[in-house]
Structure 1
Amino acid sequence: MEILKAVYQHPLLSESDFQQIANAHELMEVPRGTLLLKEGKIANEYYVLQSGVARAYVYDYNNDEISTEFFTEGEIVISTASLFQRIPSPENIQTVTDCVMLKIEFGAFQALFSTIPAYVDWGRLWFTSQLFAIKQRSLDMVQETATNRYLKLLKAKPQIIQNVPLKQIASYLGVTDTSLSRIRKEVATYPAG
C-alpha cells in the first residue's frame, strides 16, 4: 500500500501506527460516473485515490454544473466540512474516470484519531496544506489570467487535461468552453519545455 504510505507520510507515525491506518481502509473499484457524495447528504467517509480522477461540483444559479475541485492519484477525496462538522454537503463528489480508491469510514477515522497521537498531527498538517491550497486558488482566480490558470492546472495535474471533459475543466477555471478551446490552441503553439 505505497499510496497510503505516501498520503499518510509523517515522521512520528510508526510502522504499527501505519498498519492500523492501512487496516482501516477498504479497497474499492469505482466505475466512472459514480456519485460518491450527493449535495445535501452528510459525508460518512473519505477516500484515498489510488488511480483515476474524481471531482467535486455544485450547481450555480442557472443550474449549470461548476467544478470546484479535481482529485487525482495520491489525493484525499473528501468533503471536509460535511465529514468533520457533520453537516449536509454543499457539493457533489463524482468519479470522472474508473477509479481505484481506499475508503475509510468516519467511525474508523475517529477511532484512529483518538488512539494514534501522530495521526492527529498528520491531520493538522494535512488541513493546513489544504487551507493554503484553497487560498492560493482564490488568489489565482483574481490575479492570474485564464491562460495562466490553465497552465498551472496542466503542470499540477496533467491527468485532468487528458481525462476530464472540456466543459468541466472550463467551469473549474471560470471560463467558457469556447475560451478554454482558444486557450488550449494558444498553449499548443508554445515552444516545448
Structure 2
Amino acid sequence: MSNMDVKNLSNNGLVSFIKKTYPVSDFTANFIADNFEPVILSKYQLTLREGSINSDYIFLEKGYMRSYVLDIDGNEVTTNIFKPDEMVFEVESYFQRKPSKESIEAITSCVVWIGKYEKCQRLFHTLPEFREFGRAILVRGFTELKKRTISMIKEKSEKRYEDLLSESPDIFRHVPLKFIASYLGITNTSLSRLRKTN
C-alpha cells in the first residue's frame, strides 16, 4: 500500500475495538482512536527488537504477528501469536521502560494502529476511560498467559493443538506451521502428525 492508502485508512475498526473492550461514548472512543496512527507492516517486519524499549502500543487490525525469544542455543521460540482485533506490545518493557527480552514481528503484511508511548501516557493520566481500557487489556492478557502456562504444564500436545484449532482456526491458514509448532511447544514433525490425525 502507498502512503496515500495509509492516510485514507478508516479507524472504525479501532473505535469498535475500544468500545467492545470498555464501554465508552462514541466521542470518547473516537478521541482515543485519534491518538493512534495507521501503519502498514510488511511481512516479517520487526516492530520490536530484543534489547530495545517497547514504545508502541499497537492495535492489530489486519494480519498476524508474533512475539519470540531466543533460547540458550539461539533458536527462535514463539511466545505468542497475535491475530486481528488484539493489542500487541511487550508489557514489562512498555510500562517499566526496560529493554525487552522478546522481539515482535509481523508474520504477514499487517494493518496496525500505533499509539506512541508519550501520547498514551498522557491519555492514561488524563482520561479515566483510557485507564480502564488499558486495565481491561492487561487483565485479558494476564488471563491468557495464565491459561497458556497451565496448559503447557497440564495438557498433552494433542489437547493444546485441538484447543488452538477450535479457538483460532484462521491461524492455520495464515501462520507458518513452524511458528505454530514452536508456540505449542512441539516439533514441526509432531504438528504435522497431529494435523494428519485430526
- State the TM-score bracket (shorter-chain normalisation): over 0.9
Is the deviation greater in 177-186 or in 152-161?
152-161
Residue 16 of structure 2 is matched in structure 1 by 6
- Segments of 5+ residues of structure 2 without an aligned counterpart are 1-10
Residue 186 of structure 1 is matched in structure 2 by 197
User: 1:5-154 counterparts in 2 under 5 A?
Assistant: 5-9=15-19, 10-11=22-23, 13-154=24-165
Deviation at 1:5, TM superposition (A): 2.7
Q: TM-score, normalised by structure 2?
A: 0.90
CA distance in structure 2 between the partners assigned to 1:92 and 1:80 by the alignment: 12
Give % identity.
37
What letter is aligned with 1:31? S
CA distance in structure 1 between the partners assigned to 2:40 and 2:51 by the alignment: 25
Q: Please state whether the residue corresponding to 2:80 is helix, strand or coil.
A: strand
CA distance in structure 1 between the partners assigned to 2:17 and 2:92 by the alignment: 20
Contact 2:15 2:30 (C-alpha < 8 Å) held by counterparts: no
| Residues paired across the two proteins, number | 186
- Segments of 5+ residues of structure 1 without an aligned counterpart are 188-193
Deviation at 1:6, TM superposition (A): 3.4
What letter is aligned with 1:8? I
Contact 1:6 1:74 (C-alpha < 8 Å) held by counterparts: no
Deviation at 1:168, TM superposition (A): 1.1
Summarize the Cα distance change of 1:148–1:2 in structure 2 as closer, same or farther, 3 Å threshold.
farther
Deviation at 1:17, TM superposition (A): 1.6
Q: Please state whether the residue corresponding to 1:43 is helix, strand or coil.
A: coil
Question: Where does structure 1 differ by over 4 angstroms across 4 or more consecutive aligned residues?
Answer: none
CA distance in structure 2 between the partners assigned to 1:70 and 1:3 by the alignment: 20
Deviation at 1:97, TM superposition (A): 0.3
> Cα RMSD between the aligned structures?
1.1
CA distance in structure 1 between the partners assigned to 2:128 and 2:160 by the alignment: 38
Deviation at 1:146, TM superposition (A): 0.7
Contact 2:78 2:179 (C-alpha < 8 Å) held by counterparts: yes
